[in-house]
């Protein structure tokens, strides 16, 4: 599949147990050596392939990645940079998370009124949060089943943080 | 000894003080503002009391609330940390008159050193070198217009002025007495530029501060900032604990400090240390304090700049090289203990460097960056110390100083310390806010830093020349970065058979189309 970050496009697909990334004619086989999800750390081996699939260069690196909606914070070789995932061809069309189940501003979760597995109706208040002395209700945009709840009462959440995920 | 101490501060310094209290078996009271309800210093204290609104004047600067809280929680002393009320003489006095102990110098010492003009006179009298210069009264340097009598008087004054400036020697700096922020400041390289510079500085000072008084001082183009730690007890004992070189600055604020200074030879260190002790003695100083000097590397002349009558941000590098816990001793001294060491007990061991990790963007004028910390991984290893007040998911808000952590390394010599700092910086991972880590890495790698040629204006000048922008766009790394970002979506959230990555900006989006995979 193609993935776009800012103005760059990368093609990346599974290849056996590994992944094959292609960009600007370069072909990199990526082996996932180790993953530490709590630290957002991946130990990766980048193997650059020649046209005949022989190994041109191979290097192992620890990388750290954090996601905040479309933003990806990536640390590699000790340098950190923020990338923004874009929708490529659909540039300019913002996915403004019509689900409305994200925090619209930084604040604190006042109450969570649903649990995983609950069936909810469109318009039902799922969670309330407080930000800048305002109460904000997070409501279901359509009928459905609650898949995950990522926020707890009293928790401070940042802008655009996912609060509740719905099944389909 | 005290039973309980209230810490009138936040962030890393509050935690640093709590650690010292814990070691001494003293209970701690943290205070906090609404914005800091989830802050680390609140969680680590034995008791925590909400002061009020996020605005400092409603919380960390509110003397009445602080003293009230100390009395209610039955604390016997208040540690002010640095910043906030630490150099407020009337706070120190009020704390004492409430029957509590202020962990710091006396209110009188703070007051005497707080006034720049007064302290300069005091230093002169005590034989501490001060920067040559004088106040420029009203009328001085003004063009001789007006009636004949005024004209004559002004020319006479101006002739005297020219002689006085010649005595200082060019270049000189003209600055507003009421000044700050570089307003009303002029560098004058030769006599022919003097009167025009005075005129324009005066009008700028008047416009900016409503006060036309000016100061003329010797201008040191490549000056270094070298300060001396002093420490004394309430029984008249006082020592210095050597220097800290703090010349890497942006917006007149330190970002990297080290000790020993690469510029000082032992004789000079000895001399400056004695001057620092003399300066402290002139105000009957006790507890921890710092004498700041401006140092001219061309002439090796040093001049008293000011005294900070409190613990400094950069105190850890002194702790590591002089081998003393300054905060613990601050508390013991405040409780009346005698300082058992003399000057000859102290020696500098190895080399220490501190980098201040700020939530700020060097590419954007070092402006603060706020947000939630998505990831915060501190480096660990021999000779590495991190004093921080944050962890993953902490909020960095816009109310307070954006200092995230102090990264401090200690090694046997300067070269090894720099290498250690470079490694430690590369292992410090902060996501969610922009930091100056890459920038400090670029400073560490710069030959001027290696050669000890960093003056206080170096960052400004070097940024202009573009040689401090880290090379993060390196092609191989750039591709690896994109791959890592793309893979993270799969590895941390989805699965290989059903990758979450699609032409979707957000893999976590609850409304993402999963139907396509079913077909």
Same domain membership, residue B293 and residue B334:
yes
In a domain, B114, yes or no: no
Residue at token pair 């400094």: B312
Same domain membership, residue B487 and residue B456:
no
pLDDT, mean of residues A157-163: 80
Residue numbers of A between 22 and 51 with CB closer than 8 Å to B: 23, 26, 28, 30, 32, 35, 37, 39-40, 42, 44, 46
Which of B88, B103, B118 finishes a domain? B103
Same domain membership, residue B492 and residue B514:
yes
In a domain, B109, yes or no: no
Can you tell me the distance from the alpha carbon of A6 to that of A12, in angstroms, rounded to the nearest whole number?
Answer: 16
Q: How far is CA B208 from the centre of its chain?
A: 26
CATH number at residue B41: 3.40.50.20
Assigned token pair, A59 = 């290097």
In a domain, B112, yes or no: no
Task: Find which of B364, B511, B514, B516 to mutate to test the A interface (most A CBs within 10 Å of its CB).
Answer: B511
Same domain membership, residue B345 and residue B239:
yes
* Residue B509, pLDDT above cutoff 60: no
pLDDT, mean of residues B345-364: 94
In a domain, B124, yes or no: no
In a domain, B332, yes or no: yes
How many of the other CB atoms lie within 10 Å of CB of B90? 12
pLDDT of residue B199: 86
Between residues B337 and B137, the one the model is more confident about: B337
Chain B CB contacts of A87 below 8 Å? 503-505
Q: What is the pLDDT of residues B274-320, one digit of tens each?
A: 999 999 999 999 999 999 999 999 999 999 999 999 999 999 999 99
Same domain membership, residue B52 and residue B156:
no
* Residue A161, pLDDT above cutoff 60: yes
Assigned token pair, B316 = 């850890």
Q: Is B16 a catalytic residue?
A: no
pLDDT of residue B495: 34
Report the DSSP pairing between strands B214-218 and B253-259.
Answer: unpaired
Same domain membership, residue B413 and residue B365:
yes
How many of the other CB atoms lie within 10 Å of CB of A37? 11
Can you tell me the distance from the alpha carbon of B372 to that of B506, in angstroms, rounded to the nearest whole number?
Answer: 18
Judge contact between B357 and B403, C-beta under 8 A.
yes
Taken in order of first residue, the domains within chain A and their CATH numbers are 2-90 (no CATH), 107-167 (2.40.50.100)
Same domain membership, residue B226 and residue B344:
yes
Can you tell me the distance from the alpha carbon of B241 to that of B473, in angstroms, rounded to the nearest whole number?
Answer: 43
Instruction: Please answer yes or no on whether B480 and A162 come within 8 Å at the CB atom.
Output: no
Angle at B295 between CA B294 and CA B300, to 5 degrees: 150
Judge contact between B113 and B306, C-beta under 8 A.
yes
Q: Residue B15 to residues B25, B84, B310, B481: CA-CA distances in angstroms?
A: 15, 16, 17, 35
What lies within 8 Å, CB to CB, of B193 at 6+ separation is: none
Point out the catalytic residue in the list B111, B154, B310, B420: B310
In a domain, B116, yes or no: no
Q: What is the pLDDT of residues B216-258, one digit of tens each?
A: 999 998 899 999 999 999 999 999 999 999 999 987 889 999 9
Can you tell me the distance from the alpha carbon of B285 to that of B295, in angstroms, rounded to the nearest whole number?
Answer: 23
**Mean of all residue pLDDT scores within chain A:** 85
Same domain membership, residue B321 and residue B272:
yes
Q: Using CB atoms, which residue from A69, A76, A86 is nearest to B481?
A: A76
Can you tell me the distance from the alpha carbon of B353 to that of B159, in angstroms, rounded to the nearest whole number?
Answer: 49
Q: What is the pTM of this model?
A: 0.80
Assigned token pair, A68 = 């905040």
Can you tell me the distance from the alpha carbon of A46 to that of B274, in angstroms, rounded to the nearest whole number?
Answer: 58
Assigned token pair, B328 = 């613990």
Chain A CB contacts of B427 below 8 Å? 78
Q: Residue A22 to residues A1, A81, B314, B436: CA-CA distances in angstroms?
A: 10, 21, 47, 32
* Residue B502, pLDDT above cutoff 50: no
Same domain membership, residue B458 and residue B364:
yes
> Which stretches does DSSP call E strand in B53-128?
77-79, 101-102
Per DSSP, B85 falls in state: T
* Residue B351, pLDDT above cutoff 50: yes
SS (H, E, C) B4-43: EEEECCCHHHHHHHHHHHHHCCCEEEEEEEHHHCCCHHHH
Residue at token pair 């401006």: B294
Chain B CB contacts of A97 below 8 Å? 506, 509, 511
User: What radius of gyration, in Å, describes the C-alpha atoms of chain B?
Assistant: 26
Same domain membership, residue B363 and residue B320:
no
What lies within 8 Å, CB to CB, of B447 at 6+ separation is: none
Judge contact between B488 and A72, C-beta under 8 A.
yes
Report the DSSP pairing between strands A134-139 and A119-120.
Answer: unpaired
Instruction: Please answer yes or no on whether B431 and A35 come within 8 Å at the CB atom.
Output: no
* Residue A88, pLDDT above cutoff 70: no
pLDDT of residue B517: 35
In a domain, B301, yes or no: yes
Instruction: Please answer yes or no on whether A44 and B371 come within 8 Å at the CB atom.
Output: no
> Taking CB atoms and an 8 Å cut-off, how many pairs form between chains A and B?
180
Q: Which ipTM value was assigned to this complex?
A: 0.79
Find out whether the peptide bond into B171 is cis, omega within 30 degrees of 0. yes
Angle at B403 between CA B398 and CA B408, to 5 degrees: 170
**Mean of all residue pLDDT scores within chain B:** 89
Residue numbers of A between 73 and 102 with CB closer than 8 Å to B: 73-83, 85-90, 94-95, 97-99, 101
Report the DSSP pairing between strands B77-79 and B101-102.
Answer: parallel
Same domain membership, residue B153 and residue B67:
no
pLDDT of residue A92: 37
CATH number at residue B288: 3.30.470.20
Angle, nearest 10°, between helix axes B326-334 and B315-322?
100
pLDDT, mean of residues A109-133: 84
Which of B218, B245, B278 finishes a domain? B218
Cα of B442 to nearest chain A Cα, Å: 11
In a domain, B122, yes or no: no
Instruction: Establish how many alpha carbons lie within 13 A of residue B62's alpha carbon, considering only the half-sphere containing its beta carbon.
Output: 19
pLDDT of residue A1: 85
Q: Residue A17 to residues A2, A32, A52: CA-CA distances in angstroms?
A: 19, 9, 20
Chain A CB contacts of B426 below 8 Å? 77-78
Most confident of A99-108, B4-13, B139-148, B465-474: B4-13
Q: What is the pLDDT of residues B115-153, one digit of tens each?
A: 777 888 899 999 999 999 888 766 555 665 667 777 776
Per DSSP, B130 falls in state: B
Judge contact between B79 and B20, C-beta under 8 A.
no
What's the domain count of chain B?
5
* Residue A7, pLDDT above cutoff 90: no
Q: What is the pLDDT of residues B81-110, one digit of tens each?
A: 999 999 999 999 999 999 999 999 999 999
Cα of B79 to nearest chain A Cα, Å: 29
Report the DSSP pairing between strands B367-368 and B360-361.
Answer: antiparallel
* Residue B269, pLDDT above cutoff 50: yes
| A156 CB within 8 Å of a chain B CB | yes
Same domain membership, residue B482 and residue B466:
no
Domain of B437 in residue numbering reads as: 358-472
Which of B472, B491, B507 finishes a domain? B472
Cα of A83 to nearest chain B Cα, Å: 8
Q: A39 — phi, psi (to 5°)? A: -95, -5
Can you tell me the distance from the alpha carbon of A31 to that of B43, in angstroms, rounded to the nearest whole number?
Answer: 41
């Amino acid at each position: 599949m193609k993935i776009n970050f800012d103005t760059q496009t990368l093609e990346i697909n599974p290849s056996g147990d590994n992944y094959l990334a292609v960009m600007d004619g370069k072909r990199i086989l990526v082996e996932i050596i180790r993953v530490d999800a709590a630290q957002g750390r991946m130990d990766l081996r980048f193997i650059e392939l020649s046209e005949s699939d022989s190994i041109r260069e191979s290097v192992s690196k620890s990388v750290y990645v954090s996601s905040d909606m479309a933003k990806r914070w990536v640390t590699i070789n000790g340098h950190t940079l923020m990338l923004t995932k874009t929708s490529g061809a659909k540039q300019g069309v913002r996915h403004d998370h019509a689900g409305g189940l994200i925090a619209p501003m930084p604040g604190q979760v006042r109450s969570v009124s649903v649990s995983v597995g609950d069936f909810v109706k469109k318009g039902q208040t799922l969670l309330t949060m407080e930000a800048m002395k305002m109460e904000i209700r997070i409501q279901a945009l359509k009928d459905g089943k609650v898949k995950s709840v990522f926020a707890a009462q009293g928790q401070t959440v940042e802008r655009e943080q996912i609060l509740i995920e719905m099944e389909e | 000894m005290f039973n309980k101490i209230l810490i009138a501060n936040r962030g890393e310094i509050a935690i640093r003080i709590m650690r010292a209290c814990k070691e001494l078996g003293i209970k701690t009271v943290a205070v906090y503002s609404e914005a800091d309800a989830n802050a680390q210093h609140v969680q680590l204290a034995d008791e925590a009391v909400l002061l009020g609104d996020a605005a400092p004047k409603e919380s960390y600067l509110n003397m009445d609330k602080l003293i009230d809280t100390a009395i209610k929680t039955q604390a016997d002393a208040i540690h002010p940390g640095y910043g906030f009320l630490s150099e407020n003489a009337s706070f120190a006095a009020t704390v004492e008159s409430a029957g509590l102990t202020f962990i710091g110098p006396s209110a009188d010492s703070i007051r005497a050193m707080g006034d720049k003009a007064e302290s300069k006179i005091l230093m002169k009298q005590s034989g501490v070198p001060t920067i040559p210069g004088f106040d420029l009264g009203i009328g001085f340097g003004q063009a001789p217009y007006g009636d004949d009598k005024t004209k004559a008087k002004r020319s006479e004054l101006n002739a005297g002025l020219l002689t006085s400036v010649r005595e200082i020697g060019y270049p000189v700096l003209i600055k507003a007495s009421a000044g700050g922020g570089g307003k009303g400041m002029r560098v004058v390289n030769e006599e022919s530029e003097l009167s025009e510079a005075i005129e324009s500085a005066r009008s700028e000072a008047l416009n900016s501060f409503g006060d036309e008084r000016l100061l003329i001082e010797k201008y040191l183009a490549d000056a270094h900032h070298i300060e001396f730690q002093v420490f004394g007890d309430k029984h008249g004992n006082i020592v210095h604990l050597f220097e800290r070189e703090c010349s890497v600055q942006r917006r007149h604020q330190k970002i990297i400090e080290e000790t020993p200074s690469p510029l000082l030879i032992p004789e000079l260190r000895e001399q400056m240390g004695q001057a620092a002790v003399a300066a402290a003695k002139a105000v009957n100083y006790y507890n921890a304090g710092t004498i700041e000097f401006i140092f001219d590397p061309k002439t090796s002349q040093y001049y008293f700049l000011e005294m900070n009558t409190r613990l400094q941000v950069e105190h850890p590098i002194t702790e590591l090289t002089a081998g003393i816990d300054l905060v613990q001793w601050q508390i013991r001294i405040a409780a009346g203990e005698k300082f058992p060491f003399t000057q000859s007990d102290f020696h500098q061991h190895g080399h220490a460097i501190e980098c201040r990790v700020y939530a700020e963007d060097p590419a954007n004028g070092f402006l603060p960056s706020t947000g939630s910390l998505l990831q915060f991984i501190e480096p660990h290893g021999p000779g590495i110390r991190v004093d921080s007040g944050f962890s993953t998911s902490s909020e960095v808000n816009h109310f307070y100083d954006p200092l995230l952590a102090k990264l401090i390394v200690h090694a046997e010599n300067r070269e090894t310390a720099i290498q250690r700092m470079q490694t430690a910086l590369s292992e410090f991972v902060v996501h969610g806010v922009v930091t100056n880590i890459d920038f400090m890495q670029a400073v560490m790698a710069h030959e001027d830093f290696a050669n000890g040629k960093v003056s206080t204006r170096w960052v400004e000048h070097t940024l202009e020349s573009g040689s401090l922008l880290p090379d993060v766009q390196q092609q191989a790394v750039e591709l690896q970065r994109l791959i890592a970002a793309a893979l993270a979506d799969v590895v941390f959230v989805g699965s290989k058979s059903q990758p979450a990555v699609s032409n979707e900006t957000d893999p976590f989006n609850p409304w993402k189309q999963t139907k396509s995979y079913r077909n």
